[in-house]
Structures are given as C-alpha cells and as structure tokens.
C-alpha cells in the first residue's frame, strides 16, 4: 500500500493547469470528500458503499491522495463481498487518512499565492 498521503507532483500539475482556480479546486475536493465520508459512515447497503467508495477513490486519485484512493478502492471491493462484517474498521481508516489529507490540503491552500 502506498505511503504517499499527497503526491506533490500531482498537486504541482494541478496548480499549473488550474492557475487561479487551484484554491477552489482544493476547497471543492475537501467539501466533496467530507460529504462522501458522511455517506460512508451512514450507508447501510453494499451498493451505496461501493458507489460512494468508487467516486471517492477517483477524486482522491485525481488529487494525488494516493493512500486515500487505495483505501477507497479496498472498500469498493469489500462492499462487493457477501458480508459487510468489519467494514466499519476500513471506513474508520479512510476517515483517519482523510483527516491527514485534509490538513495537507489546507496547508497547500494557505501556501498558494495567486
């Protein structure tokens, strides 16, 4: 599993492409991720867990949050299994990793100068 919480090369590319829109991109990622986390904590069916984990995996990957994307991918696959037993532990791992990524994204945003 990747130990990269936030790939700086990906962020650098996004910064170049997005220019002045970069801070808004970071904000949108954080807001969307927080909403997805709420869904993961509240979801009671495998289909909703899998779909939310899939979209969270994609956005995390696009933002360079590699470990978060891997955890979401693992949840997506686990949600397709017959039993959802123990899935709370994985959701909590995703929550913890996102807390770390959130801090890094906020630092990144504070360091951005238009």
Q: What is the widest separation between alpha-carbon atoms in the chain?
A: 50
Per-residue pLDDT of the chain (114 residues; tens, 9 = 90+): 668 899 999 999 999 999 999 999 999 999 999 999 999 999 888 999 999 999 999 999 999 999 999 999 999 999 998 888 889 999 999 999 999 999 999 999 998 765
Angle (nearest 5°) at CA 66 between 55 and 85: 60
* H or E element, residue 105: helix 87-110
Tokens for 25, please give them: 């991109």
- For residue 104, the surrounding DSSP H or E stretch is helix 87-110
Is the pTM higher than 0.85? The answer reads yes
Residue located via tokens 């955890």: 71
Cα separation, 19 vs 13, whole angstroms: 10
């Amino acid at each position: 599993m990747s130990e990269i919480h936030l790939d700086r090369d990906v962020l650098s590319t996004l910064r170049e492409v997005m220019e002045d829109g970069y801070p808004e991109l970071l904000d949108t990622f954080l807001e969307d991720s927080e909403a997805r986390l709420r869904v993961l904590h509240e979801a009671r069916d495998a289909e909703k867990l899998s779909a939310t984990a899939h979209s969270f995996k994609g956005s995390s990957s696009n933002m360079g949050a590699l470990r978060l994307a891997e955890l979401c991918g693992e949840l997506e696959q686990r949600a397709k299994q017959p039993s959802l037993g123990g899935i709370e532990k994985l959701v909590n791992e995703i929550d913890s990793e996102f807390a770390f990524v959130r801090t890094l994204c906020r630092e990144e945003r504070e360091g951005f100068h238009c």
